[in-house]
Structure 1
Amino acid sequence: MASSSMLLSLFFTILLFFFLSPTLCANSQGNALHAMRSRLSDPNNIMQSWDPTLVNPCTWFHVTCDSNNNVLRLDLGNSNISGSLGPELGDLKHLQYLELYGNNLRGKIPDELGNLESLIGMDLYNNEFKGKIPESFGKLKSIRFLRLNDNKLTGSIPRELANLSNLKVIDVSNNDLCGTIPVDGPFANFHMESFKNNRLNGPELKGLVPYDFGC
């Protein structure tokens, strides 16, 4: 009898877990977005609806979710927000589009953005980002569009990006990048306009070890 009671209790525990798991996941994503908001100045109250007491973030403006309450898209382009990004954005495991262009975001681009394995498009252009392009971006196997232009990025273009077979568009123009431009993988198809107004020294020579002139 005790055994049957234990089995019944276990059954209801598992059932409860399956019912609550989407909510728990959504709350985790909501916590990540709320942590992001706490780092930012938002003079136009674009993120006013981002209330952490709600069940999940899918009711917030500028956040798009799927039917399972997974955050797929974050649209905060041209929102006049300022501040820096933190590692919490790397917790949005289902995110497909990160649109933060045309703001006053500064500081380094978090390495944790490389954990967004579902990401298709990342638009961080026209901000004040400094530091290097994270090598972790080489893990973004689903990414097709990567726009980092018009920032203050330094260092070389990570060679890990040459492994992104789905990458169709890259723009790192108008930064302070140095070294040479990869020629492998998708870089064989990119126009030189994507790299203009940097301190880059042209494409690498195939078969030779890349040399970062001036870096």
Structure 2
Amino acid sequence: MIDFPQKFAVVVPAAGVGKRMQTNHPKQYLSLHDKTILEHTVDNLLSHPKIELVVIAVSEGDEYFSELSLAQVDNVIRVVGGQERVDSVLSGLNYLSQYHAEQYSWVMVHDAARPCLTHDDINKLINQCQQAHRGGILAAPVRDTMKRSCAQNGLNTIEQTVDRSQLWHALTPQLFPLIELKSALVDGLINQKVITDEASAMELSGYQPLLVQGRSDNLKVTQPEDLALAEFFLSQRK
């Protein structure tokens, strides 16, 4: 049984290019209220009393990170990410397991483009995982009617309506034991499994992660219209 720690490190995969944002630079470096999305996200994490260290995985040719004030912060570590999210997360986990395995036996992973995470949701995730002594993720129950599609003559049509009563939107942070998560990601890559988030890798290893209900405004900036929505949410909190 792994002892649950009092302090945490967070891995932030930030090597993506954000093609769906239709901009000429990665979405994590778009500006919101005079700071980049990445700066909002990391500042938000480090202001939580139980988070001591953030490991950011950026692309090898990243031209932007070194220009941010984050690059000079002592408890922000930069590592080289990979082509896929799983590669970037694994890079951050490799750093932690090499230098901080005893200090941070559990680790969070949080999307770089989720700047609206609240401290209350972080507390809920930590507390519920601690009580269950099980890793878990923030998630939001699906509210809309869900449809499964099929392609016909180049068009998407409805194949069936899916029961949404047990469906959830996976959010981040996701919180798991460091060594177990690293092993699950490595095994998934070796076996050429599809890994969409950390929980999916743990599931492939036979783990049943906890679902912790979080706020639906913990949105991931993916489409151009998400930027205005994130700006609104941050303005409301100020």
- In the superposition, the TM-score normalised over structure 2's length comes to 0.23
Q: Which has the larger radius of gyration?
A: 1
- In the superposition, the TM-score normalised over structure 1's length comes to 0.25
More helix as a share of residues: 2
Q: Name the structure, 1 or 2, with higher relative contact order (CA <8 Å, separation 6+).
A: 2
